[in-house]
Structure 1
Amino acid sequence: MSGELMESTRRRLSDRQADTVRRLTDAAVEEVRATGFDGFTVRNVARRAGVAPATAYTYFTSKNHLIAEVFWRRLRALPPIPPAPEEPRERVIAVLREIALLVSDEPELAAACTTALLGTDPDVRELRLRIGRTVHRRLLAALRPGLAPGAERPSPEQTRVLNALEFAYAGALVHAGMGYSSYAEMADRLAEVAELLF
């Protein structure tokens, strides 16, 4: 596991602290499955993880922060996009699909992630920025196979496509979170948007 994956939103962690955060994020998934997001509390997650509530709050300021961290860790755990001979359209569709399906098989967690990521506290905002940058980098890598970070800028056309894809992803996430479509349907609709752009 990389150091950045184990890093908290708020500080670098020792191995022991990283284990505590991992136990809390694992317990958060179990808790949201059991109670839904409305009944979800950091205190109950701490109990499920075998951690004192005060300790849990040193890592996570709110339930939104904790659930946003779960989504961030799943996104960061995706494998790098390998160089491949496919056309950019197929690569972009694959990237959109894998991001859209991160929580698709867990409806309670999916709804919780959507709500949490719209939170306003500073730690959620920081995670939202990290998530946005990661989605941006993955889409850019799909558009420009083999592009080294910072080595080249995308063309104006690629920038327009990239912006449209990012807006489509954000809108689809909110749409699914509001219950208008499932996350699996969201993946299909994002694929359709990508096909229109190429």
Structure 2
Amino acid sequence: MSSSAVTHVTRLRDPHSQRTLTCRRVFGAAAAMLDDCARPDVSVPALAARARIAPAALRAHFPSMDAMYAELYLARVIELPLVVDQTASIQARVSGQLCAITLIMADETRLAVACTQALLRNDDAAITRVQSLIAAEVRRRLSAALGTGAWPEVLATLETVFWGALLQVQSSAFTYRTMANRLDVMVSLILPEG
């Protein structure tokens, strides 16, 4: 038996999915531009051209270049797998999480500087929103590493140590790799073994 009925296919559009793809293109283009030359000109028109989108579309996604860099950093942090070895010591688990977040851009110096500079701004509502999301993700990772029953004061101290470390890296006092090693020492002082 055959039917003469006509089937209509409706394609559903997922605006979130489209935004994610656009953001990935923009993030990739920004990273490539910073990596390509010693004095990159990462302006809205240049970035839009590199990402192959209209400048107006870029501005619709990101109100400023700093907002774009802040969101790029957020995307990198969120993409990190959250793996906590419950057989390891608390100190090792916390150090592992802090090291992973700290080294997220260690090999992309110019991009890391641009992202950290953006995250240090306090005059842009779009960046403030992203800062809150990053802080929540850092807190989630540290909480998972500490496990249940951890003192809130210990969690707050570890968060402060992490954000202070990023500030020191931004001031060029240390590299990300040096800071990761220093964070290990700081964690050992906050969470002694045994």
TM category, shorter: 0.7 to 0.9
Alpha-carbon displacement from aligned partner over 1:86-132 (angstroms, at most 9, x marks no partner): 11110000001000000011110111111010122111110100000
Partner of 1:114: 116
TM-score, length basis structure 2? 0.85
Residue 106 of structure 2 is aligned to residue 124 of structure 1: no
Residue 187 of structure 2 is aligned to residue 194 of structure 1: yes
RMSD: 1.8
Partner of 2:174: 181
Greater alpha carbon shift after TM alignment, 36-45 vs 72-81: 36-45
Q: Helix, strand or coil for the counterpart of 2:95?
A: helix
Alpha-carbon displacement from aligned partner over 1:57-95 (angstroms, at most 9, x marks no partner): 000011111111111011000112345211111000000
Aligned counterpart for 1:34 among listed residues 29, 33, 36:
36
Residue 146 of structure 2 is aligned to residue 143 of structure 1: yes
Matches within 5 A, 1:1-198: 13-34=15-36, 39-119=41-121, 120-144=123-147, 147=148, 154-155=149-150, 158-198=151-191
| 1:35 positional shift | 5.1
| Structure 1 unpaired stretches of 5+ | 1-11, 148-153
Contact 1:97 1:187 in 2 (8 A): yes
TM-score, length basis structure 1? 0.83
- Residue identity (%): 32
Q: Helix, strand or coil for the counterpart of 1:86?
A: coil
Contact 2:85 2:93 in 1 (8 A): no
Q: Helix, strand or coil for the counterpart of 1:93?
A: helix
| Structure 2 unpaired stretches of 5+ | 1-13
Larger radius of gyration: 2
